[in-house]
Amino acid sequence: MPKLLVRVPSPLLADGELTHRDRVAADAGLALSQWRDYVAVYRDRGWQIIDVEAAPTQPDGVFIEDALVVFDDLVVIGRPGAESRRGEIDTARAAARTLGLPIHEIEAPGTLDGGDILKVGRTVYVGASSRTNDDGFAQLETLLTPRGWKLVAVPVTRVLHLKSAVTALPDGTVIGYEPLVDDPSVFPRFLPVPEEQGTAVVVLDPSTVLMSAGAPQTAALLRSRGLTVVQTPVTEFEKLEGCVTCLSVRVRR
């Protein structure tokens, strides 16, 4: 049974970090409702939901994907590029231990946010962003290369994280909104999408993806490719540079 790690949004969500967006007030009550609907998508499809300990004083804590990434049978605990988010790590580490998998942590001076990690087959695209530095990349490469992964650094200057700009479909095609992508040629197969909110998809199964309700044109494009598309509203998280990928950690073992 696949597992989903999630953390309930903080009532301080509206105070979260912003890098590339102007601040628009997020509604904490609406965010909680949207988060519950998001989790229900997975629960209704048989995923086991694992609740990470709440972090009410951490505005960005709901974006749990940034704290840890799973590679096969290994959990990598990141080191947030934003100092304000480093208080999220202790509870994320405790949740990771419940998975019963080996754990490795990125150490200073390295920084690495999970939102900068895109796995396509055995290739790991790593965003060289304001949140993930060269040392974090080097530590991850040293760790993963012996395990059969190939790492590729990707420039990220127009958005917060790599997966704010691109994600991948079940067949490995990378999708993204071109004005936000520094260099689409990095990816062997790249499909432009017509909306900024359409850049992020989560693969639920080999024929189904989850994405924002705010991208109807992109949803239609993906359906034309034979995919089943599930949409859910995430407006309050999008205001904080979040998306459907960063609200959870998916463990497919």
- Spatial separation of the C-alpha atoms in residues 193 and 189, rounded to whole Å: 13
Q: What's the distance, CA 209 to chain centroid?
A: 14
DSSP 85: G
Please give the distance of CA 181 from its chain centroid, rounded to a whole number.
16
Instruction: Give dist(CA 247, CA 7) in Å, integer.
Output: 8
Q: Residues within the annotated binding site for substrate?
A: 18, 60, 65-66, 85, 131, 240
Diameter of the chain measured on Cα atoms: 46
132 and 106 Cβ atoms separated by less than 8 Å: no
Q: Is there a catalytic annotation at residue 243?
A: no
- What residues contact residue 34 under an 8 Å CB cut-off, 6+ apart? 232, 233, 234, 235, 236, 237
- Pure H helices in 59-205: 89-97, 134-144
What CA–CA distances, in Å, run from 30 to 106, 180, 196, 201, 236? 34, 27, 21, 21, 7
Alpha-carbon span 208 to 249, nearest angstrom: 17
Sheet of 3-6: strand order equals 48-51, 3-6, 249-251
Q: Supply 176's token pair.
A: 């993204």
d(CA 181, CA 64): 23
Distance between CA 162 and CA 114 in Å, rounded? 9
Query: 20, 104, 161, 243: which one is catalytic?
Result: 161
Verify whether residue 246 is a known catalytic residue. Answer: yes
Catalytic (active-site) positions: 161, 246
